[in-house]
Amino acid sequence: MHRIALLLLLVCASALGVEPGAPAADFALPDEKGRVVTLADQRGKILYLDFWASWCVPCRQSFPWLNDMQARYASRGLQIVGVGLDEKRQDADRFLASYPARFTIAFDATGATPRAYGVKGMPSSYLIGRDGRVIFRHIGFRPSDKAELERRIARALERGAR
């Protein structure tokens, strides 16, 4: 009986996805050149994991801002990884041609990573600390979110530096 309850709890926990404070789910995804990007590679950095798709309109608005964040905070230990969730790689490539990314891009056509993270809307982003735990998650992207997101990233970098 206890075993069934535990199993149920586990199933429910996996459906909930990654909550702030919980360890981030591991992933190993190919980048644009076929090299593998993993969560373990990013240890020691503050990771901003962004789930995007070519058809997602707010994602278009987020890319210039992500480029800006990567350029400004890379020296302080920020690494942005954008996970493209298009089923067809050509769609993602076309998007990247129009909205170039100056941060790490990885692809997951299967949807296993967003499922593990419990992505509830597009785009979704997760800030993961140097200890591999989720600091916060954010759903959607509006230009008005920029200031608050940047403030939280800067605060995480500051806290992580100590």
Partner 1 sequence: MKRLRPARPGFACCLAILAAGCSFIEPVAPWEKGTLAKPEMGFDAARFDARYDEHIYTSREAAPAASGVGGGGCGCN
Give me the least distance between CB of 21 and partner 1, in Å please.
Answer: 23
C-alpha–C-alpha distance, residues 91 and 55, integer Å: 8
Residue closer to partner 1, measured from CB, 42 or 124: 124
Give the dihedral of Cα atoms 82, 87, 90, 96; nearest 10 deg: -20
114: contact with partner 1 by CB under 8 A: yes
91: contact with partner 1 by CB under 8 A: yes
C-alpha–C-alpha distance, residues 36 and 44, integer Å: 18
**N residues, the chain:** 162
Give me the least distance between CB of 114 and partner 1, in Å please.
Answer: 5
Q: Which stretch binds partner 1 (CB under 8 A): 5-13, 37-45, 46-54, 70-78?
A: 46-54
Residue closer to partner 1, measured from CB, 134 or 157: 134
Residue closer to partner 1, measured from CB, 64 or 111: 111
Residue closer to partner 1, measured from CB, 78 or 92: 92
Q: Give the one residue of 70, 79, 104, 124 binding partner 1; rule: CB under 8 A.
A: 124
Residue closer to partner 1, measured from CB, 88 or 151: 88
User: Strands, E, within the chain: which ranges?
Assistant: 28-30, 36-38, 46-52, 78-84, 104-107, 124-128, 134-139
Tokens 């994991």 sit on residue: 49
Give the dihedral of Cα atoms 152, 155, 160, 162; nearest 10 deg: -170
The footprint of partner 1 (CB under 8 A) covers 51, 53-57, 85-87, 91, 111, 114-115, 119-122, 124
